[in-house]
Each structure stands twice: as C-alpha cells, then as structure tokens.
Amino acid sequence: DIEMTQSPSSLSASVGERVSITCQASQDIRNYLNWYQQKPGKAPKVLIYEASKLETGVPSRFSGSGSGTSFTLTINNLQPEDVATYYCQQCENLFTFGPGTKVDLK
Amino acid sequence: EVQLVESGGDLIQPGGSLRLSCEASGFTVGTNYMNWVRQAPGKGLEWVAVLYSGGSTYYAESVRGRFIISRDNSKNTLYLQMNNLKREDTAVYFCARDKRAYTNGAWYFDLWGRGTLVTVSS
C-alpha cells in the first residue's frame, strides 16, 4: 500500500502570508496527487488535482507542484476563509489520504 | 441540483450490522465510479471502498471482508453494508463521486455528500 505523510501537522500564519504544505508518498506516484480542503463540520472540497491543476472555481491563490514522491500545496496571500485542514490524496493505486495539515490564523 | 445525500447512520453495538445509503440526484450513479470515505471523530480522512461503473469493487484493508459496497441503479443509490462492526469503525461516512478531467487523467473526488454518523458502542 502507498503511504502518505504531510508536514507540518499544523501551522499558524497571518492574513496575507504565503503558506506551504508538503506531502510525501512512500513510492513514486507520478503526478497522481490531489489536494482537498476541509472546514469543520463540512465535507472536503477538491482544490488541486493531478498535482498542479486548479479545480474550476478554486481561487488562483492556491497552487500545487511536485511529482514522483514529493509535492507541495502553496497558498499565496492567506485569507481568513482559508482556515481549514488540508489533505493530500494519492490516486496512483486506489486511494490514500495524508494525515492532514491544520491551518489557522496567527 | 447535483448532490449526494447519505443516510442510515446510527448507534450500533460491536458485532452488529448496518447499511448506509447514498442517494444521488442530478447524475447517474451507475455510470460513475463511486466511493465511501470515513472520518473518525477528530481524525483524518480514510478511503473505505470504491465501486466502478463496470461493477468491480475494491476495499481498504481495514474493512475488507466485513464491508460491501453496492448500488441500485433503479433508485440511483449507492450502499455500504457494514458487518461485524468494531469500535474503530465509529466515524462520519461520506460518499463521493470520482471524476477525471480527461482520459488517463488522475481520478479525484469532485462531489461529496454531507456524511452520516456511525457510532459503534455498547
């Protein structure tokens, strides 16, 4: 099975800051990596698919990069509505989610 | 409106069985890949099972042999039959639709329901 790790597990940042979250896969998953945002009490929402493609309707301050085993989600100009937990997900071999990164405001 | 609505969550004793339902509207369950994903209280997301449009099914190791994913095309509904439930199965269960933007592209979950809570406790 493919295992996913994320770092950091949580972070605090100020409005307007740039935030980066990394995701590591236990084996090469090419670019089959998605990013989701989940707010408390809500279902997850896809932000980025195939490592770097922005889902329709998602603000352009969100971006993704990486391939192989190492990936990054970047939020430019952090906004109050970005407070949430972010999960990566591999889809190379079925599906596995990372443990999540909780983002809040400083 | 395109949406998924889960139901069937309940308080159930260890060893018991429960069937969850996920009713779709605005699209056809039978022509899509459909999944169940769960989230234990205060924990992260765990993929549980997938049902392909052709009928193939796959499960996470943690539920294989105990859970069965199925669908009823006439009711446009996805199901998760959960047997021999354990305390660690306590979670909110979401159904989610698979999508890919183009042939050979990556699959991702583009549509989610709001979830239904299953509590396994004596």
B75's tokens:
């009711």
Give the pLDDT score at B106: 87
Select the residue from B107, B110, B111, B117 to test the A interface by mutation, using most A Cβ atoms within 10 A: B107
Question: Which residues of B, range 57-116, sit inside 8 Å of A by Cβ?
Answer: 58, 61, 94, 101, 105-110, 112-115
Interchain CB contact of A36 with B (< 8 Å)? yes
**Between A and B, how many residue pairs show a Cβ–Cβ distance under 8 A?**
64
Distance of alpha carbon A56 from the chain centroid: 16
CB A46 to CB B44 under 8 A? no
Phi (first) and psi of residue B41, to 5 degrees: -55, 125
- Measured CA to CA, the distance from residue A37 to residue A88 in angstroms comes to 9
Encode chain B (122 residues) as per-residue pLDDT tens digits: 999 999 999 999 999 999 999 999 999 999 999 999 999 999 999 999 999 999 999 999 999 999 999 999 999 999 999 999 999 999 999 999 999 877 778 899 999 999 999 999 99
Above pLDDT 90, what percent of chain B?
A: 94
Give the pLDDT score at B104: 79
